[in-house]
Amino acid sequence: MYLPRALISKLYLHLQKTRHPLSPPVLVLVALEPDALCACRILTRLFKHDYIPHKIQPVAGYADLERAGRELVAPMMTTRGGSGGLVVCLGVGGMADLGSMLGLEPEGDGDGDDNALAEQAFGGVEVWVIDSHRPWNLSNVFGGFPLEPAADGRGTLADRSPPGVNGGCIDRAYRPGKGGIVVFDDGDIEDDLAKERDAYLALVDMPDVEDDGEDLGESDDEDEDEDNESEVAALEGNSSHAEPPRAGQKRKSGDFLDEDSDDEEDRPRQRRRSNSSTPIADSPPRPAQRGLISLRDRAIFSDAIEPPFDAQPLRAPSARTLRRRLLRLRRKHEVVLRDYYQLGTSYSEPVSSMLYSLASELGREDNDLLWLAIVGVTSMELYGRSSAGVAVPVRGGADGGRPASGWMGVRGARIRQLLRDEVRRLNPPEVGRGGSVLPENTGIIPTTARSPEDTSIRLSPEPKFLLIRHWSLYDSMLHSPYLFSRLKTWSETGLKRLHKLLAKMGVSLVQCKQSYAHMDMMLKRELRAKLLKYASLYNLDDLVPTIDTDGKDRAGAKDGWGFVRSWGWRATLSAQDVGVVIGALLEVGKTAADEILNGSSVQPASATGSSSQDLAVTNADPPSEEWLPRFWEAYDALEDIEALKAGLPTAKLLHRAIFTTGTALLKKKQISHLRAFRMCVVKGTADAPDAALFRHPGALTKLALWIGEALAEQERDAGGGKLALAGRGTPLVVACLDEARGVYVVVGTGGGGGPDTAFVDREAAKRRKQEREARAKKKEEERKAREKIREEKREAKRRAREERGEGQDEEEEDDDDNDDDESEEGEDLSEEEDEESDDDDEEDGSRERGFGLNRFGAAFQEVVAETSARVRIDSFEHCVVEVKKEDLGGFLESLSMKAVVG
């Protein structure tokens, strides 16, 4: 079930009223990513304010999630001796069936008492799911609640839903306490999943009829013809001497209705694809007892699948006809769900933004929570998580081509604008001494606080440099992914181009290689003006954000500005700086960074996860023993400024490794061109001594985005390819060898450039829906008007005949019928045109909806199903897999034949 955005505070207010210090602690499952980490900090701040006990459990992947279900969630269930409780999933489990993964739903084969199974489900444990990964697992969204007992053991999902749950949606009448899975909706479910909701609910209420894959045709005419032929054969022959079914012959309707047949266990079961790491079922589980369609089922579902008739038919459809109609309807609904799951992965509103909305609804917003939300939203962009999945950003160009869409497109721009408005509200703008304009409003990057007690958040015209306050200007520009791709600094020509830009700006190499904080103040004051003057010469038009000429802070005048916060005289950091440091602590760890900086090599863990011989699509343990301690380092750094500053060397180390490794791969042309994507392999060599740092999927994703953006710029400069013309880069696969475990970590990034799905598609869908409703309303009004005119004409004719004292003869009756037929024929043509228009709208919407999405997750699943490659899919990012060292070649060869971008 899902909680609408308008009721986001409903469940927390109930928790606040019912919890006390002696209540069992709330279990918080957190993904190992900066956005979920910031959301966890926001939530725990709310818990501490309300004295709600809680426990935090980091989760590295699906194996960790299953382990948490066995060891932490199961003991909470009342059916297992617990007292119930609450589990909050932050960035975890949105794409998986949490009911089965956490062990909350009892496993049954449909032969037991369905009421007893319904009473055992969830055991008083309620799960909140706040996740930005898409697509949703629809079992969580429209199911995931304990069923109310049914008197006769059966009943539709609507009949057995808890009070206050309608079609999976929680309304104000809902009362928590019985457990269930609650998905926090950011608006996508209400606006985008109406079609999927109808299909899911219809499938849940259908009986589980065996499907042997026969061709069912497209209409009921064939079924009726077969029924007529069967009747004729029965009348002409003798039923007592009927020929027994031959081998391979389809079962008769009489056999189909026999529920107690001895060969019921021998009937073939429908095979369904499943993956223990990412369990997404093709069809939703049914609450009623499973089995063959019964006579009572025929009575229930005949009305739903039979076409309407004006008159009662002389003969009721046979069981075979009902079965074929039911199977045809079920296949139609299953196609809707399958198409949704195969659209590709994408991202919606960040988790930290959702939690800040909750705090705002509760009236708890302050600078600390706002800063955590800003850092979480900023980190999404650093990892390339957009409405097109994990993909390179689409940059705008000076050639008048496709404009820059940026992170999350229109929706991301609106989220950032809301955050800027919150910064203005909670941090009123100040003016300089004597009414002068503040330095940041003139384009100077703030590097210090305004006072020793200054902890405010400010808007800053941040250039697209990396860690500029904590590095030299030269290193900050050299390690910027934006300049790396635009200036091509992996080559000697690109480095000369960078030096020439600095020379034109009047900055010597000696000056720009010293710490930016200690640079000459005049140079820092003139830096932005010089960048604007010479950036267009090097295709760097959006290098710095725009600014008002008069320096005034008008609403919406600071689009593209960054966020900066000060901690007194101790430090001043931008949100991007914090996101970079937190990500480096999660991916590298301070301990490993210290070993490298002190001259030691990175020692890979000897027992991290499963052995290479056991690697498969199973529930093998991920290398979380190495990653989980880094979570607490990053968690502490979000609240401790000294710990955050201590992580700056780790961030610099990681981005130096990204630069050197990316440079080596591009300079030596080690990127291969395959059919559907480009690919490269990172190994520990003399040119890439830091390859061990990329064993973590997050670090490898950053490297892939770095290289992918450079390739996209190369393609656009060369002016070739349909993808380049469409503003999209070529999809890229990057693999890194983990020698200790004998596996390759593989990441697939999309080309970007897709539509702003999750927002633009929503707006287009709203417009199409409104247009259809307007057409339907207009058509209904026209039909009523025509009907009224016909009635008036008939009445006038009837009165005229009565005045003449004549009766209605056959000729006049035929004329009236002809007039009615012509009118109805015109109405039919109008309705057909409207239906064709609606079909066209739906086709256009489906094309827009999946266009440009990252489909590597679905492609990986297809390769696993078709080949014998030993692969593990354990990451919450479905574009990340682990492949056995010896199987990489065959895996990539099969993958190259798949569609990896929508």
CA torsion angle for 875, 878, 882, 888 (degrees, to 10)?
180
pLDDT of 231-241, one tens digit each? Answer: 545 444 444 43
Q: How many other CB atoms are there within 10 angstroms of residue 168's CB atom?
A: 24
820 vs 205, more confident: 205
Identity of residue 261: S
Given CATH 3.40.50, say whether it is the number of domain 2-199: yes
| Model pLDDT, residue 218 | 62
| Model pLDDT, residue 352 | 96
Strand order in the sheet with 572-574: 457-460, 562-566, 572-574
User: Could you give phi then psi for residue 735, rounded to 5 degrees?
Assistant: -120, 140
849 vs 399, more confident: 849
Start-to-end Cα distance in the chain: 29
Looking at the predicted structure, is the pLDDT value of residue 413 above 90?
A: no
C-alpha closest to that of 571 among 668, 680, 664, 455: 455
| Model pLDDT, residue 804 | 75
Identity of residue 298: R
Q: How confident is the model at residue 219 (pLDDT cuts 50, 70, 90)?
A: low
What are 305's two structure tokens? 């699948």
Looking at the predicted structure, is the pLDDT value of residue 523 above 50?
A: yes
740 vs 616, more confident: 740
| Model pLDDT, residue 302 | 45
| Model pLDDT, residue 127 | 96
Asked if 512 contacts 468 with a C-beta cutoff of 8 angstroms, the reply is no
Over pLDDT 90: what percentage of the chain? 41
Q: How confident is the model at residue 398 (pLDDT cuts 50, 70, 90)?
A: very low
CA dist 489 → 312, 703, 708, 853 (Å): 79, 15, 14, 29
Asked if 347 contacts 133 with a C-beta cutoff of 8 angstroms, the reply is yes
| Model pLDDT, residue 262 | 41
| Model pLDDT, residue 298 | 40
Mean pLDDT across the stretch 718-725?
A: 54
| Average pLDDT along the chain | 78
Residue 38 DSSP code: H
CA dist 619 → 92, 276, 625 (Å): 17, 6, 16
Q: How confident is the model at residue 678 (pLDDT cuts 50, 70, 90)?
A: very high
Find the range with the poorest average confidence among 102-111, 423-432, 599-608.
599-608
Looking at the predicted structure, is the pLDDT value of residue 30 above 90?
A: yes
Looking at the predicted structure, is the pLDDT value of residue 212 above 80?
A: no
| Model pLDDT, residue 612 | 34
Question: What is the helix (H) or strand (E) element at residue 890, kind and residue range?
Answer: helix 888-895
Find the range with the poorest average confidence among 204-218, 397-411, 661-675.
397-411
pLDDT of 290-313, one tens digit each? Answer: 333 343 344 444 444 444 444 444
| Model pLDDT, residue 289 | 35
Q: How confident is the model at residue 870 (pLDDT cuts 50, 70, 90)?
A: very high
Looking at the predicted structure, is the pLDDT value of residue 159 above 90?
A: no
What are 37's two structure tokens? 């980490």
pLDDT of 223-280, one tens digit each? Answer: 555 555 555 454 444 444 334 433 333 333 333 333 333 443 343 333 333 344 444 4
Mean pLDDT across the stretch 884-893?
A: 92
Find the range with the poorest average confidence among 85-89, 145-149, 720-724.
720-724
Residue 717, Cα to own-chain centre: how many angstroms? 32
Q: How confident is the model at residue 41 (pLDDT cuts 50, 70, 90)?
A: very high
Residue 738 DSSP code: E
Find the range with the poorest average confidence among 30-39, 103-112, 236-245.
236-245
Give the whole-angstrom CA distance, residue 587 versus residue 630: 8
Looking at the predicted structure, is the pLDDT value of residue 384 above 90?
A: no
Pairing of strands 133-134, 572-574: unpaired
| Model pLDDT, residue 599 | 62
764 vs 121, more confident: 121
C-alpha closest to that of 890 among 875, 874, 877, 871: 871
Residue-level length of the chain: 902
Q: How confident is the model at residue 642 (pLDDT cuts 50, 70, 90)?
A: very high
| Model pLDDT, residue 207 | 82
pLDDT of 341-371, one tens digit each? Answer: 988 898 999 999 999 999 999 999 999 999 9
518 vs 566, more confident: 566
Find the range with the poorest average confidence among 132-141, 393-402, 442-451, 888-897.
393-402
The domain locations on the chain are: 2-199, 760-848
User: Could you give phi then psi for residue 853, rounded to 5 degrees?
Assistant: -75, 150
Q: How confident is the model at residue 74 (pLDDT cuts 50, 70, 90)?
A: very high
pLDDT of 683-709, one tens digit each? Answer: 876 556 778 889 999 999 999 999 998
- Per-position b or e across 589-628, b if 16+ CB within 10 A of its CB: bbebbeebeeeeebeeeeebbbebeebbbebbbbbbebbe
Q: Is the dihedral of CA 584, 586, 587, 590 positive or negative?
A: positive
Beta bridge partners of 569: 567
Mean pLDDT across the stretch 727-752?
A: 86
Find the range with the poorest average confidence among 463-467, 536-540, 834-838.
834-838
CA dist 354 → 3, 49, 183, 309 (Å): 12, 19, 12, 50
| Model pLDDT, residue 235 | 43
What are 861's two structure tokens? 């699943």
| Model pLDDT, residue 138 | 94
Looking at the predicted structure, is the pLDDT value of residue 835 above 70?
A: no
Is-above-0.75 flag for pTM? yes
pLDDT of 772-817, one tens digit each? Answer: 788 888 888 888 888 888 888 888 888 887 877 765 555 555 555 5
